[in-house]
Structures are given as structure tokens and as C-alpha cells.
């Protein structure tokens, strides 16, 4: 055996088998207000998008990501934005999407041109990633500044409920069409017994304490109990929850799930809980990307187990996140925007190509976790790339940025940033078993090198 093959084999044997996600889950842009939904065998994650350099919640669009292993997330871009609602003009804040009868209903808050306040809208699509279209041409509920952060669920009897609100909770019983409701908007009774003791209401001295509930409700049902999880405590926020025997209360305050801590680096938080492939996950957001903070937030997730008495444990933010619940097949076409971690790159989209990786410079990289090479036998590595300049190189490495080189693909100029060309190169060394893949980008220092659509081994 040659020295090169011996060193590669040794590296493969030493590669770690346990793989976890890394928080935040998305590094190509700032993401906020997570809302997971399971459809088929994938978990879809709907988020807001904080703009770079924002000094307030100036948010223009919603984004969608998905996974089938909890470590590699595919960027599906933005299927819905302010411009899709003729009656809205600002503040694309926290969304949630739900599936019913083969349709996907996307509930959003927006600043309304009609009343000059916040309102709740709904769009509908045929797939989890859209396209989505405003279902009504007007708000579903247009009211006041408290009309933000919708959360939706369908009870066991088929009745759907929509909740929203800051600093109180509003709700309606949705009709079967999911885009209308009968009667008036109802306001939840907010008691200390139901939502905990908050801060004194300064404008009304002598009155009782207001509740700790602030905003960002998330409704769910488990073992016959209804759980309302929410951002609490004012600014800075922590995550707390209340429980009821009915979907509309009365509620019993249960305590804190995620304490406010330096680990979030954000004065807001926003909860969501979802079971997927037999595991439970808690979603939230932090300011933990470079340049992050209260107006530059990023979605994260933690695995957890309920306590024996069905209560939530205390959940703290971590860098490690959730362990893998599946592997990725490198023999199939893999979108370049599917990644477990990245450094330096961004994503863009258009109607022809869809989403692709852009802003690639020398030294940037993409990590793909838990790729299963099986018994090996890889002969070629190929990628779809585009460059208006001189291109660069994709180094395919195993298990680290400096790991063994599996292949080296030279990317030429293709005549334009969206003039795509599929290029293949022989695999220099074979790999077997499960490994992380690092796609390391090299080229001239300074300029953008190329765009990157997809890759695969053959």
C-alpha cells in the first residue's frame, strides 16, 4: 500500500462516528422566529429574515429550510414576501405553516395599509415550499399593534385554532377552509395563575401584577393536554409555558423552559416544539452568528426529553445542537445549498435555477455531515458551477477542512454568473463508511470565484 493510501485509510478509521448538528442551523443569512412542520419524511422550518445591518425588526420576507436528518439543512429560499400581500407594506414578522387536505397554509403578521397597524394574513400553496399566494387579498384579522406572531394547530376533532398576540393572546376557531372564521376575535383571559407573575404595570399603580407572557405563542397538544409556550418576562425575554385541559383555557402556569442567558446573545426569543422521527426538539433563536444580536438573530434547535410527569425540562442553548437521525447519500444529486455548516458563503435564487450558493471566495467552505459512502467504489465527482471570471477550485475533503483530499475539481470561467456548466473530475482516493464532507473553495484571493448549484459522486 502506498504512503498516501495508508494515511487516507488511517484517517478514515479515526473519523468520529457520532455526528451532531451545529447551532445556529443556518449560516448563510440571519433567520428568526422558527416554526417547524413535519410533512412526509421531512421536517420543514419556516423562519423570518433579519436584514444585514438592521437597527430594528425591518424584515421583508419569510424563508423555508428542510431536513431529513436534523444535521443537513436545505435552503429553499424565500417563497413569500411582503410584496405578495397587496394590503401589507412592512414588518414580515414571525410566521407558522400547517398542512390540511393536501394544502399548506402560511400564516403571517404584516403591517397593514388598511388600518396602519399590524394584521394577520394567510397564504396557501400546494407544496411545503410553495409557491404561496395570498388566499384572501385582505387580512384574515386586521386589528391593532398586538396582532403579531400567529400560531396554529388542528385538534383531534378536526377543529383548527389560530392564536396570536403581544402582550395578550387573541384567538379564533378557524373554519374548515383554514382561511376564514365565524364570530368575533376572542381575547384570552390572562391571569397570574394562568401565565405567571410579571412586572408591575407602571401606568396603573395599585393594580395587580401583569402576567409574564410577552409574545411569540406556540400551541401544541400532548397526551390530552394543551401546551402554550411563549416568550416571557418582557425585555430581555426567556421562554415559559402554561398548560390547560382545553384549547382556550383556563391555563395553569408551569414555569420556565429556557432561561434568559448570555448563551442566546439576543434580547428576544421565540419558541417552537416539534417531534420528528421519534425525537423531541426545541427551536429558538439567538444572536450567535458573527455580527449577530437583537436585530440579527439566527435559528437554533436542541433535542430534549420530557420529564416523567410530562413537564418540560430546563433547556439551555448549546453550540452542538441535535444529533443526526439519518445519513446523506452522496451518490445522488445534492443541492449545494444543503449543508450542516458553512463559512463565508451566501445563497441566491431565481425562477430558472432556484436556490444556489453564491459569494464564494478563497478559503470559504461548506460542510455536509454524515454522508454514507457505503462500500466505496466512487469514480467521479461532478458539480454544476458558473463563473463570469476565472473560476477556482473545489477541494473535496473528508472529516475536516484539512482532511484527506478525495477529489479536486477545477472550475473554469463559464461566461457568466448564471451560465451553468456541469464538470466532472476523477476521484483521487476512494472512501467507505460514514463521513463528513468538506467542500473547500480555493482561488485568487479577493474576488468572488464562482456560483455553485449542485454536486454528486458517481
pLDDT for the residue numbered 442: 98
Helix, strand, coil in percent for the chain, rounding step 5: 5, 45, 50
What phi, psi does 23 have (nearest 5°)?
Answer: -95, 145
Q: Has residue 4 got a pLDDT over 50?
A: no
Catalytic residue among 22, 33, 69, 84: 33
Q: Has residue 129 got a pLDDT over 70?
A: yes
Q: Has residue 298 got a pLDDT over 50?
A: yes
The DSSP 8-state label assigned to residue 208 in this structure reads P
Q: What is the mean pLDDT of residues 293-320?
A: 97
Q: What is the mean pLDDT of residues 178-200?
A: 92
Separation between Cα atoms, residue 412 and residue 414, nearest integer Å:
6
pLDDT for the residue numbered 328: 98
Q: Has residue 210 got a pLDDT over 90?
A: no
Give the global pTM.
Answer: 0.94
Of 195-209, 251-265, 269-283, which gets the smallest average pLDDT? 195-209
Catalytic residue among 84, 142, 215, 302: 215
Q: Which residues of 48-57 are buried (b: 16+ CB within 10 A; e: fewer)?
A: bbbbeeeeeb
33 is catalytic: yes
pLDDT for the residue numbered 337: 98
In this predicted model, what pLDDT tens digit does every residue of 279-296 receive, in sequence order?
999 999 999 999 999 999
Q: What is the mean pLDDT of residues 222-243?
A: 96
Separation between Cα atoms, residue 402 and residue 124, nearest integer Å:
46
Residue in the structure block whose three cell numbers are 396554529: 152
Q: How confident is the model at residue 200 (pLDDT cuts 50, 70, 90)?
A: very low
Q: What single string gives the DSSP state of each residue in 285-335?
A: EES-STT-BTTB-EEEEEEE---TTSPPPP----SS-PBPSS-B-TTS-EE
CB 69 within 8 A of CB 370: yes
pLDDT for the residue numbered 205: 55
Q: Is 3 helix (H, G, I), strand (E, B) or coil?
A: helix
Q: CB-based contacts of 219: which residues, under 8 Å, 6+ apart? A: 151, 152, 153, 161, 163, 226, 227, 228, 229, 247
Q: Has residue 336 got a pLDDT over 60?
A: yes
Separation between Cα atoms, residue 330 and residue 374, nearest integer Å:
10
Q: How confident is the model at residue 375 (pLDDT cuts 50, 70, 90)?
A: very high
CB 112 within 8 A of CB 84: no
Q: How confident is the model at residue 18 (pLDDT cuts 50, 70, 90)?
A: low
Separation between Cα atoms, residue 76 and residue 71, nearest integer Å:
16
Share of the chain above pLDDT 70, in %: 94
pLDDT for the residue numbered 143: 84
Q: H or E element: which one contains 7?
A: helix 3-14
Q: What is the mean pLDDT of residues 416-440?
A: 97
CB 228 within 8 A of CB 241: yes
- Determine how many CB atoms are found less than 10 A away from the CB of residue 116: 9
Q: How confident is the model at residue 2 (pLDDT cuts 50, 70, 90)?
A: very low
CB 5 within 8 A of CB 392: no
pLDDT for the residue numbered 3: 36
Q: CB-based contacts of 237: which residues, under 8 Å, 6+ apart? A: 214, 215, 216, 231, 260, 267, 268, 269
CB 37 within 8 A of CB 302: no
CB 123 within 8 A of CB 103: no
Q: CB-based contacts of 396: which residues, under 8 Å, 6+ apart? A: 381, 405, 406, 407, 408, 409, 437, 438, 439
In this predicted model, what pLDDT tens digit does every residue of 133-172 receive, in sequence order?
999 999 999 989 999 999 999 999 999 999 999 999 999 9
Q: Where are the beta strands (DSSP E) in 205-297?
A: 213-222, 225-232, 238-244, 251-258, 272-276, 279-286
- Determine how many CB atoms are found less than 10 A away from the CB of residue 446: 8
In this predicted model, what pLDDT tens digit does every residue of 392-404 receive, in sequence order?
999 999 999 999 9
C-alpha dist (Å) from residue 423 to 349, 397, 453: 21, 18, 12
Separation between Cα atoms, residue 443 and residue 33, nearest integer Å:
37
Q: Has residue 21 got a pLDDT over 50?
A: yes
pLDDT for the residue numbered 209: 55
Bridge partners (DSSP) listed for residue 199: none
Q: How confident is the model at residue 8 (pLDDT cuts 50, 70, 90)?
A: very low
Average pLDDT value for the chain: 93
CB 421 within 8 A of CB 1: no
- Determine how many CB atoms are found less than 10 A away from the CB of residue 405: 16
Of 8-17, 26-35, 338-347, 412-421, which gets the smallest average pLDDT? 8-17
CB 219 within 8 A of CB 228: yes
pLDDT for the residue numbered 236: 94
Q: H or E element: which one contains 6?
A: helix 3-14
215 is catalytic: yes
Q: How confident is the model at residue 11 (pLDDT cuts 50, 70, 90)?
A: very low
- Determine how many CB atoms are found less than 10 A away from the CB of residue 308: 6
pLDDT for the residue numbered 203: 43
CB 323 within 8 A of CB 48: no
Amino acid at each position: 500500500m502506498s504512503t498516501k493510501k495508508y494515511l487516507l485509510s488511517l484517517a478514515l478509521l479515526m473519523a468520529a462516528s457520532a455526528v451532531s448538528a451545529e447551532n445556529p442551523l443556518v449560516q448563510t443569512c440571519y433567520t428568526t422566529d422558527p416554526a417547524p412542520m413535519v410533512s412526509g419524511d421531512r421536517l420543514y422550518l419556516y423562519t423570518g429574515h433579519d436584514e444585514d445591518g438592521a437597527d430594528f425588526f425591518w424584515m421583508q420576507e419569510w424563508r423555508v429550510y428542510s431536513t431529513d436528518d436534523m444535521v443537513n439543512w436545505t435552503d429553499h429560499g424565500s417563497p413569500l414576501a411582503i410584496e405578495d400581500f397587496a394590503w401589507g407594506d412592512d414588518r414580515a414578522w414571525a410566521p407558522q405553516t400547517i398542512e390540511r387536505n393536501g394544502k399548506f397554509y402560511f400564516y403571517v403578521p404584516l403591517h397593514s395599509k388598511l388600518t396602519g397597524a399590524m394584521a394577520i394574513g394567510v397564504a396557501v400553496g400546494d407544496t411545503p415550499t410553495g409557491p404561496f399566494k395570498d388566499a384572501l387579498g385582505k387580512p384574515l384579522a386586521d386589528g391593532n399593534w398586538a396582532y403579531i406572531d400567529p400560531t396554529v394547530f388542528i385538534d383531534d376533532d378536526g377543529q383548527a385554532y389560530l392564536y396570536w398576540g403581544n402582550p395578550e393572546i387573541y384567538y379564533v376557531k378557524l373554519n374548515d377552509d383554514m382561511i376564514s372564521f365565524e364570530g368575533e376575535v376572542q381575547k384570552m383571559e390572562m391571569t397570574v395563575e394562568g401565565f405567571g407573575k410579571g412586572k408591575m404595570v407602571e401606568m396603573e399603580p395599585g393594580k395587580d401584577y401583569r402576567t409574564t407572557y410577552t409574545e411569540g405563542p406556540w400551541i401544541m397538544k400532548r397526551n390530552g393536554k394543551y401546551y402554550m409556550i411563549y416568550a416571557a418576562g418582557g425585555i430581555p425575554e426567556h421562554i415559559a409555558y402554561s398548560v390547560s385541559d382545553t384549547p382556550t383555557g383556563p391555563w395553569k402556569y408551569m414555569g420556565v423552559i429556557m432561561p434568559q442567558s448570555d448563551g442566546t446573545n439576543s434580547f428576544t426569543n421565540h419558541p417552537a416544539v416539534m417531534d420528528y422521527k421519534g425525537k423531541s426538539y426545541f427551536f429558538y433563536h439567538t444572536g450567535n452568528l458573527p455580527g449577530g444580536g437583537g436585530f440579527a438573530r439566527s435559528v437554533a434547535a436542541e433535542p430534549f426529553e420530557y420529564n416523567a410527569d410530562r413537564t418540560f425540562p430546563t433547556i439551555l442553548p448549546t453550540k452542538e445542537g441535535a444529533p443526526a437521525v439519518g445519513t446523506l447519500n452522496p451518490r445522488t444529486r445534492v443541492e449545494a445549498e444543503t449543508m450542516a455548516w458553512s463559512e463565508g458563503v451566501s445563497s441566491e435564487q431565481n425562477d430558472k435555477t432556484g436556490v444556489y450558493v453564491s459569494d464564494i471566495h478563497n478559503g470559504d467552505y461548506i460542510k455536509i455531515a454524515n454522508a454514507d459512502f457505503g462500500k466505496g467504489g466512487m469514480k467521479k465527482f461532478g458539480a454544476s458551477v458558473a463563473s463570469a471570471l476565472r473560476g477556482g477550485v473545489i477541494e473535496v475533503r473528508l472529516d475536516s477542512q484539512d482532511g484527506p483530499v478525495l477529489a479536486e475539481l477545477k472550475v473554469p470561467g463559464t461566461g457568466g454568473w448564471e451560465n451553468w456548466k456541469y464538470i466532472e473530475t476523477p476521484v483521487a482516493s476512494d472512501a467507505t463508511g460514514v463521513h463528513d464532507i468538506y467542500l473547500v473553495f480555493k482561488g485568487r484571493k479577493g474576488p468572488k470565484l464562482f456560483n455553485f448549484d449542485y454536486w454528486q459522486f458517481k
